[in-house]
Amino acid sequence: MQQTVRFGGFTVAASQLVSNVPFVLLAGHWVPHFADPQLGWLALALFSTLAANLTPVASVANLIVLELGGRYGKVTFFHFVKVGTAATFLPLLAGAACLLAERRLGLLAGP
């Protein structure tokens, strides 16, 4: 479980640096070596998807929308992050709690 939480935090941080899709392509090589690979794959899907909401550079889709919508109004980096923080961490906390609860209750197949 600690591995999942640490990996989730690392996924959010790394997705801000290289964008979520390239990070998933890289991290996909590590997940089969986790103590619980099934939980690792689910955590990677959850954390990388929601990490894309945090900053404009976390997802190429964010950059495309901001560029195309720029003629209608500008969204500053800091305004995006202010809204993105809630859009990232509130669902992440709920999603991670559900995922870990399902694992603890035996609703996910174990290693």
pLDDT digits (tens, 9 = 90+) for 67-103: 999 999 999 999 999 999 999 999 999 999 999 999 9
Q: Give CA separation, 100 vs 26, 39, 96, in Å.
A: 24, 8, 6
111 part of a folded domain: no
Answer yes or no: are the C-beta atoms of 92 and 8 closer than 8 Å: yes
Residue 110 has pLDDT above 70, yes or no: no
Q: Per mean pLDDT, which range of 1-5, 19-23, 44-48, 79-83 is the poorest? A: 1-5
H or E element, residue 108: none
Span 11-24, mean pLDDT?
Answer: 96
87 part of a folded domain: yes
110 part of a folded domain: no
Residue 32 has pLDDT above 80, yes or no: yes
d(CA 48, CA 57): 13
Burial of 49 (0-12, 13-18, 19+ CB in 10 A): middle
96 part of a folded domain: yes
For the chain, the domain total comes to 1
Residue 111 has pLDDT above 70, yes or no: no
- Which residues touch 87 (CB under 8 Å, ≥6 apart)? 53, 54
Q: Supply the range of the domain harboring residue 8.
A: 2-104
pLDDT category of residue 108 using cuts at 50, 70 and 90: confident
29 part of a folded domain: yes
109 part of a folded domain: no
Work out the mean pLDDT of the chain and round it to a whole number. Answer: 95
pLDDT category of residue 38 using cuts at 50, 70 and 90: very high
